[in-house]
Amino acid sequence: AQSVSQHNHHVILSEAASLELGCNYSYGGTVNLFWYVQYPGQHLQLLLKYFSGDPLVKGIKGFEAEFIKSKFSFNLRKPSVQWSDTAEYFCAGRGRNSGYALNFGKGTSLLVTP
Amino acid sequence: DVKVTQSSRYLVKRTGEKVFLECVQDMDHENMFWYRQDPGLGLRLIYFSYDVKMKEKGDIPEGYSVSREKKERFSLILESASTNQTSMYLCASSFSGLAYEQYFGPGTRLTVT
């Protein structure tokens, strides 16, 4: 099971800037890590997930994340953000209980300005 | 497309009232979850269910109970609502197993006055 922490709570970027949101996890057995996004007024949806294999994971809408075991990190990246990427982003790790619930970070609010 | 629906988007209740929040999923998922989302705190697990009539407490179960009588439906009950239960409540569901992600409903914004 992993608990996760997100470094940045509020990020403001201009369109076309590169994005990197930090997420660190605590070691706890099998690693299952996720990034979810919540656009204004919409439900949480999965961006990408890591279970094993290639540490560079590609998700929807041009997002990717890199699992770096030595740094206990799973940072989310996008080379060029758009105004439509304005949203709240949550990193999550598999919880400790048997129900496969997720432990979520506190979230990062991203505002992309035109 | 997986669909997780919640009975209300917005709800206003008075202190001491009994409140029912309902969640329905249409993908035959074994697992269902109730989370609470508060600014600066992220999502916190209240309860989850891994089968009909089976439930386990999450991280913040105090003041809440749940019911799962049918596989597709998972209800969250606030026995006696209090102002500190004003929050956004999110339901989620998934297949059983580590490989499966959770699908979320749109949320219910509950205000207790």
Structure confidence by residue, pLDDT tens digits, B54-92: 999 998 999 999 999 999 999 999 999 999 999 999 999
What residues pair up with A102 in beta bridges, in sequence order?
A: A94
Distance, CA of B50 to CA of B35 (rounded, Å): 15
Report the pLDDT averaged over residues A104-112.
Answer: 95
> Inter-chain contact B98–A107, Cβ cutoff 8 Å?
no
Nearest to A48 by CA among A92, A83, A2: A92
Question: Are A92 and A21 contacting, i.e. CB atoms less than 8 angstroms apart?
Answer: no
Look at residues B36, B32, B49 and name the one whose alpha carbon lies nearest to residue B94.
Answer: B32
**Mean pLDDT score across all residues of chain A:** 91
Contact B56 A98 (CB under 8 A): yes
pLDDT digits (tens, 9 = 90+) for A49-96: 998 889 999 999 999 999 999 999 999 999 999 999 999 999 998 876
Closest CA to B6 of B87, B55, B76: B76
Which of A9, A44, A98 should one mutate to test binding to chain B, selecting the residue with the greatest count of B CBs within 10 A? A44
Cα separation of A61 and B39, whole Å?
25
CB contact under 8 A, A44 and B104: yes
Closest CB from B35, B43, B96 relative to A100: B96
Q: What is the pLDDT of residues B11-51, one digit of tens each?
A: 999 999 999 999 999 999 999 999 999 988 889 999 999 99
